[in-house]
Amino acid sequence: MNNHSIIRLIILFFLLIFALINGLFWIAHNYFANEMQGDRMRRFALAERLIHHRSGDFGTELKQLMIAPSSLSPDFLRKNGITLEEFPFGRVMEHNGKIYFLKSPPPMNPFDRPPLMFDPSLPPPPPFDRHDLMVLEDLKVTSIWPIWTVFIMIDLLVLLFFIFILKKLTPLNRLKNAIMNFKEGDTRLDVPIGGKDEISQITHEFNLALEKIASMKEARALFLRNILHELKTPIMKGALSTDCLEESEDQKRLKRIFNRMDYLLREFSTMERFSSGEMTINPQEYRFVDILDHTCDILMCEKKNIVIKGEDSALIINVDFELFAIALKNLLDNAFKYSDTKPTLFILQHAIEICSLGEPLPEENRTFTKPFNRTYESSMTGLGLGLYITNAILHKHGYRLEYHYDTGLNCFRIVL
């Protein structure tokens, strides 16, 4: 998943909120638990004082503290109870879910066994006040279940909201995948629409745009097929008529012309399928000189019209034979059109360069990623489309088209 994905950020935000809520709950839980424990200990301490200072309404005072004497014996509680806390004056114990306070026995009366130094004839000291051990039961019901209930409800609400947001963003993810498929040339898409929010509206408009683009593409393909068919018929008839003529220089010239026109039609068809994404390249290893011979046949020119340097380098390149020949043909064709001298072709180890004398290409026209710009749109001489097609073919092969102008030479370099 992309680090900058909206869904990823929402998940991280949800985890942060979830951790914050649980952290606050844990703090609140500990706070209330300590408060309940402190309140219980204060009430038990007051009850312990009442034991030593009993009055006529001792039972009533204990009830006001939400404490009552228990019927359980201290020995039974010590044996079966669980000690929660222990203090010098007693211990807090739990048994069967109830909280008890077991008062510690008072210290031994120092005068229970008089020392030998005392005169037995003297009267004994007054008896030390000892109270029987008493087990006190906490009547106040304390529970943290309300806190747990609130905590669980908040967690559930946050979780449901998170699921709701993810569900709402699901069409956005499908829309992204549809756009990626559209980039690869698949215009027959239909992203499901659900809801009436902004994402659903964007998805709806995207579907409408896809339908329009698909219809335009179909109309374009039909138009090109009809054009190619209507042009191919007279060219075939002209070629057949040329075969019926007596053999002569004019007959050979006409035959080359019709062959050239037939190849151009096939080239247009190939480029139409290539530009629409319907055609993929089929690279294989070829000698560059063989591709150059085929390019010269397409241009109907002799290799002697080109100054070739490095022809003996035996360069081997991995390309689609027909498409790469078209790219090379466009560069050589421009060199012939815009120069009065022979173009020079350099066959290097990692590059092929075509140079010709002429005016430099304007700076704004040196971007080959568009078929035309404002200058080319009003031009009757072309150039823009050929360079765009060449750049697209080379890019498909993983190669690069570069341009530089040096001492009157326009140089186009194919970097392999």
pLDDT at position 353 is 92
Average pLDDT over residues 183-197: 64
Does this model's pTM top 0.85? My answer is no
Mean pLDDT of the chain: 77
Question: CA-CA distance, 407 to 366, in Å (whole number)?
Answer: 18
* Strand pairing report for 98-103 and 284-287: unpaired
Query: Where is pLDDT greater, at 72 or 202?
Result: 72
pLDDT at position 383 is 47
Is 283-415 CATH 3.40.1190.10?
no
pLDDT at position 380 is 42
Across 26-35, 79-88, 92-101, 102-111, least confident range: 102-111
Query: Where is pLDDT greater, at 309 or 214?
Result: 309
pLDDT at position 38 is 81
Q: Please state, for a pLDDT cut of 90, what percent of the chain lies above it.
A: 4
Across 102-106, 144-148, 237-241, least confident range: 102-106
Query: Where is pLDDT greater, at 149 or 117?
Result: 149
Tell me the pLDDT band of 377, cut-offs 50, 70 and 90. very low
pLDDT at position 195 is 66
Phi-psi region of 382 (alpha: psi -120 to 50; beta: other; left: phi over 0): left
**233 pLDDT above the threshold of 80:** no
pLDDT at position 128 is 43
Query: Where is pLDDT greater, at 297 or 367?
Result: 297
Average pLDDT over residues 168-177: 74
Query: Where is pLDDT greater, at 349 or 170?
Result: 349
Per-residue DSSP letter, 190: -
Question: CA-CA distance, 388 to 368, in Å (whole number)?
Answer: 5
**332 pLDDT above the threshold of 80:** yes
pLDDT at position 136 is 83
Give me 309's structure tokens.
């340097």
- Could you read off the pLDDT of 257-304 as tens digits, one per residue? 877 777 777 767 766 666 666 667 788 999 998 899 888 888 878 888
Average pLDDT over residues 176-198: 68
Q: What is the DSSP string of 79-134?
A: HH-EEEEEETTEEEEEETTEEEEEEPPPPPPTTSS--TTS-TTSPPPPPP------
Start-end of CATH 3.30.565.10 domains in the chain: 283-415
Tell me the pLDDT band of 376, cut-offs 50, 70 and 90. very low
410 exposure class (CB count in 10 Å sphere: 0-12, 13-18, 19+): buried
Q: How many CB atoms lie within 10 A of CB 390?
A: 24
CA dihedral of 359, 360, 365, 366, whole degrees rounded to 10: 150
- Could you read off the pLDDT of 304-330 as tens digits, one per residue? 888 888 866 788 899 988 889 988 988
pLDDT at position 96 is 84
Give me 42's structure tokens.
């204060």
**386 pLDDT above the threshold of 50:** yes
- Could you read off the pLDDT of 191-210 as tens digits, one per residue? 666 667 777 777 777 778 77
Query: Is the CA virtual torsion 65, 66, 68, 70 positive or negative?
Result: negative
Q: Nearest-CA neighbor of 391 among 416, 370, 405, 373?
A: 370
